[in-house]
Every structure is written in C-alpha cells, then in structure tokens.
Amino acid sequence: MTRATIIAYWIAVVLAGGFLRFDELASRPFHADEATGARLAAVRMGSGDYHFDPTHFHGPTMGYLAIPLFRSYGENDWAEMTKTPPRLLMALAGTLILLVPLAWRRRFGDGPPLLAAALLATSPLLVYYSRMFIHESLLVLFGMLVLASCARAPRWGLPGVFIGLMFATKESFAISMIAWMAAATLVLIEQRQALSRAWWANAWQSYGKSIGLSILTAALVSGYFYTDGFRHPAGAIHAVRTFFEYKTVGGHEKSFGYYFHLMVLPFKGGGIWWFGTPVVMLALLGFAASFQRDAKCPRVIRFLAYATLGHFFIYSVITYKTPWLGCLPWAHACLLGGLSLVGFSHQKRWIKVTLGLLGGFCLATQWTQARFATGRFASDERNPFAYVPTRSDLEDLSPWLKKLGQTAPESTLEPMAVIGTDYWPLPWYLRAFKRVGYWAQPPSNLMEFPLVFAMPAVEDAVSNQLKTTHTALPRGLRAGVPITLFVRNEVWRRWMKSAND
C-alpha cells in the first residue's frame, strides 16, 4: 500500500468510529450511573473542592475533565446541566482510543495496527460505552496508552503517567496491573532457557531507571487527582482505603461464564443476533502468529494474549459483573485480533483470502450491531450492553411536570417528595425543581406534598398514607424497576379538566 492509501484508510477508520460515537449522542435517556457522575461534578463546581469517598465512588478524573466541558456550554450548576457535555468527553476518549494502535506500527507494520483500530472503532461494546458518561472509556484509553508506551521504549516514566491516570480514574486499574504482571511472568517463564544472568543485568541496566521513574510518576499523577492538586493530602490515604472499603451495590452477581456468553457465544435479542465471535477468532489467529518461525515480536504478542485472558479470568472470578467491566479486556482482544495480520504478505493465498473474509465479516457485523445498540435498542433491555437502562418515557417527565404545575392551585408542584432508595436517575430528571426532598421511609406529613414519587419497596406504605388525598399514576424508571407517582387530587382534577377543555 502507498503512504497515501494508508493515510486514507486511517482517516476512514477514525471517521467511521467517530460517527458511531458522536451520532445523536444525547438521544438516549440518562443512565443512573451517568446521573450520579453528573451530580458529583455539579457538587464540585459549586464548592470548588473535591473530597474522595473511598466507600462508594470511583476516581476523580472523569469529573475533573468534564467540568470544563460543562462550563464551555454555560452549564455551571446542577439545574443547568444537559447530557451533551459529559457524553462528548467519553465520545472523544473513545475516538482517541482508535489512534493508539499507531504506536505499534514500528513493531508490526501498517496492516495489523490498522485492523486493530478498525476492530476498536466498530466494536458495539466499546461504541456503546463511549457514548455514556461513566469511567470506562477513560480507563480503556489510559490502559491502551500504557501498553503503547511499553511497546515503544518506556522512557521518562511515561507508562507511569498513564498508570497514574488509570488509578485516578477507577480502582479496578489494579486488576489490569495484576493481569499485566501475570502475563509478563508467563512470557519470562516461556523464555527462561534463553534468559542468562547477562540478559537480566542488561535488562535492568536498560529499563531499571524507567521502571523507577514510572513508579514515581504513577504515584505523583494519581496523588495529584486524589488530593485535588495536593491541597487535601488525606485524599491519597483514602485512595488506598478504597481497595479495602469500597461497597458494591447488590443485584449484580453473575456466573463465572457471564463474559464468555456476552462476548463469544451468539445469541438473539430483539430479533438481532449479538456476538463477538469473529473478533475472538482473529485474536486466536493473532496468538497463533506468535508461533511462526519468522514471527515479529512473538513475546509481545503472547504477552498481549496472556493479558487478555488474565483480565477476563479475574473479572469472571469476581461475582460482581456488568458489561462495561469488559471494555478494557475486550480492547486487548481487538488489539490482538489486529495482530492476526502479522506476516500476512508471506502467507499462502488461501490463508490471505480466509483472513480477508473473516476480517470483513467481523467489521460488517460489528458495525450492524453497533448501530442497533446505539439506535433502536439504545435503551432497551434486549440490548445486552444496555445494562439496567432508563425507561425512555422518563425523558418526558420534566416537561410534563412543568405543564402539570401550571394547573396546580398555586401554580407549582413544589415541594416534591421521593420516598425509598435506589431512585437514580430520577434526581437528574427533577433537577429543574428546587424543592425536592428524599426520604428512605414516608414522613408523617407526606399528604401535604403535591407530588410524591414512591419506589417499589415503599409503594404500599405510601399508598396507604395517600389513598384518600392523592391519585396514583404508574410510571417506569429503569428496566424492571417501576415507580409510582402520586398527584394530589385537586391538582389531578384541574389537570384533567384542562385536558378536556
């Protein structure tokens, strides 16, 4: 391929991946985790400080990077926020991931990194979570940059910078560190007969200083974020405490084979087939390429293969599972799949044809799944990546409440009450209202509120208290989670009268 052709292919891959990530970015309802992330950013904008909670929340980089985007849109507090700025951050991070394989060109030539970028660009899992304001796209970006900086000469402690950013993004970076160290150990064991004392001495002389600098930069970078620019030193201690004190939410326990069924085995949902099997086949071929007699950088390929398996094994052992936890391991698999083209020009014709057909089929099916996942099934539980999605009709709640309030006796529905727990993302959709109270159990004066939202666990208690004063209206909150809206009778009668006039 000529240089111009290669550049054209890279531009096409980035444009295609960017389109999948930015197209109608704000159309899907806000997820509960997105709403809590936006709330934390709003609190930080209001106070100017950041105090890390090691028991409930992930690292600070997501909010830290999102705040300038909120402000660039003129959104300076909770009530003014919209879905576009935070999702733009993640879409940008997801698009930057596509450029990371360029760092592997010196080792493997043009074809393998380009295919890896195309697999990353069209992956429905990575596309879906690049359009969602959660930590995963940043974690994948920084994790891929760790691999890229190590694939090149790891000078000046650069890998430590990205490891520090991973730590400051999410505590699950530790799983990647364990998987990477285990993979490196396996590669060294395989090569133990060729590793003399002179080799070890030479390796330490070449990389010892870089390793030390990386450890230092990782500590400094992560410490900077957790201590809010070193203004709150206790944040560094809290960052370590999170590995011992973090409390996961119940209801996410799944079997060991969850990720295997999600990403490997084809299954049908909503009339669409969902599968990542071709990527796995390409990844296996990439691993096989490391055993060729004239293979390029076989130890690097095997490290990547072992790291991919290590990630998935650890996440499979942990009972707490969500689809987005598979994003970084799957990015490893896509990169390994690109390496299936290592030595492509020297292969027999039938092997070239087979690889071409498999790669084309993989990209075509991934593109189709990504479009369905972010379009028709963007907030549908039949989409395997739409984990506990917000009900689409919740988007109409705030406009409808404003109209309903115009017919209320005092032209307002405030104060409102939300009764129960686990009510996110409801606060996001009520952010335009200033007087909203939240109670785990119904207070004694509940009948005084014009509007009451009741979660399922307390619906009966609320209904008994309001059965003579309010009208109950069933609504949806999240997939499998209904919510009941109680409207004071006089407000509801006025609304019905106005609707009939």
Give the model's pLDDT for residue 156.
75
Please give the mean pLDDT across all residues of the chain: 91
Structure tokens at 141: 């970006």
Res 439 pLDDT > 90: yes
Give the model's pLDDT for residue 200.
67
- In angstroms, rounded to a whole number, what is the distance separating the alpha carbons of residues 501 and 491? 16
Chain segment 123-142, per-residue pLDDT in tens: 999 999 999 999 999 999 99
Chain segment 354-408, per-residue pLDDT in tens: 889 999 999 999 999 999 999 999 999 999 999 999 999 899 999 999 999 888 8
* Confidence category of residue 273, pLDDT binned at 50, 70, 90: very high
| Percentage, residues of the chain above pLDDT 90 | 71
- Separation in Å, CA 49 to CA 1, 43, 45, 63, 469: 53, 9, 8, 12, 43
* Confidence category of residue 344, pLDDT binned at 50, 70, 90: confident
- In angstroms, rounded to a whole number, what is the distance separating the alpha carbons of residues 112 and 130? 23
Region 413-437 average pLDDT:
94
**Of 92, 116, 90, the residue nearest 102 (C-alpha):** 116
Res 198 pLDDT > 80: no
Res 203 pLDDT > 70: no
Top-confidence residue, 206 or 23? 23
Residues 6+ apart with CB under 8 A from 109: 296
- In angstroms, rounded to a whole number, what is the distance separating the alpha carbons of residues 357 and 113? 18
Structure tokens at 222: 């992560």
Can you say whether residue 321 is alpha, beta or left, with left for phi > 0 and alpha for psi between -120 and 50 degrees?
A: beta
Tally DSSP H helices, then E strands, for the chain.
21, 7
